[in-house]
A = this chain, B = another copy of it.
Amino acid sequence: MPDYYEKTCTAPVNIAVIKYWGKRDVSLNLPTNSSLSVTLSQDNLQSKTTIRADPSFSKTRLWLNGVEEDVSASKRIQTCIKEARRLRSLYEQQLLRDGNSEVVPLSEYNLHICSENNFPTAAGLASSASGFACFVYTLAQLYSLPNSLSELSIIARQGSGSACRSLFGGFVAWEMGVNNDGSDSMAVQIADEHHWPELIALICVVSDAKKAIGSTVGMQVTVKTSSLLKERIECVVPKRMEEMVKAIKDKDFDAFAELTMRDSNQFHAVCLDSFPPIFYLNDISRAIIRLVEEYNSTSCNYKAAYTFDAGPNAVIYTLRENADELVGLIKRYFMGEEREQIPSGFRADAVPIFEEGSVKQLIRTTVGDGPRVIEDGLLNEDGMPKS
Chain A interfacial positions (CB closer than 8 Å to B)? 209-210, 227-228, 230-232, 235-236, 258, 261-262, 265-266, 268-270, 272-277, 279, 282-283, 286, 289, 293, 352
A-B contact pairs, 12 of them (CB 8 A): A227-B231, A227-B266, A228-B270, A258-B275, A265-B272, A265-B275, A269-B269, A269-B272, A272-B272, A277-B289, A279-B286, A282-B286
Chain B nearest CB: distance from A218 CB in Å? 14
A243 CB, nearest partner CB in chain B, Å = 12
**Bound-complex Cα distance A187 to B273 (A):** 27
Taken together, the copies of this chain in the complex come to 2
Are A269 and B352 also in contact (CB < 8 A) when A275-B262, A277-B289, A282-B283 are? no
Nearest B residue to A235, CB-CB: B227
Indicate which residue in B230, B231, B265, B270 contacts A277 across the interface (CB closer than 8 Å).
B265
The docked-state distance in angstroms from the alpha carbon of A268 to that of B289 is 16
Query: Which B residues touch A275, using CB under 8 A?
Result: 258, 261-262, 265
A286 to B266, CA, bound (A): 18
What would 5 more interface pairs be, CB under 8 Å, given A228-B228, A228-B273? A230-B231, A231-B231, A265-B272, A265-B277, A266-B273
A228, A231, A286: most-surrounded residue (chain B CB, <10 A): A228
CB contact between A283 and one of B265, B283, B293 (< 8 Å): that residue: B283
Task: Enumerate chain B residues within 8 angstroms of A352, measured Cβ to Cβ.
Answer: 209-210
Residues on the B chain within 8 Å of A266, using CB? 227-228, 272-273
Q: Which of chain B's residues have a CB closer than 8 A to the CB of A272? A: 265-266, 268-269, 272
Partner of A232, one of B228, B236, B261, B293: B228
> When chains A and B are docked, how far (Å) is the Cα of A273 from the Cα of B19?
14
Chain B minimum-CB-distance residue to A277: B265
A258, A262, A352: residue with the most chain B Cβ atoms closer than 10 Å: A262
CA distance A261 to B276 in the complex (A): 9
Per the bound structure, the CA–CA distance linking A262 and B277 in Å amounts to 8
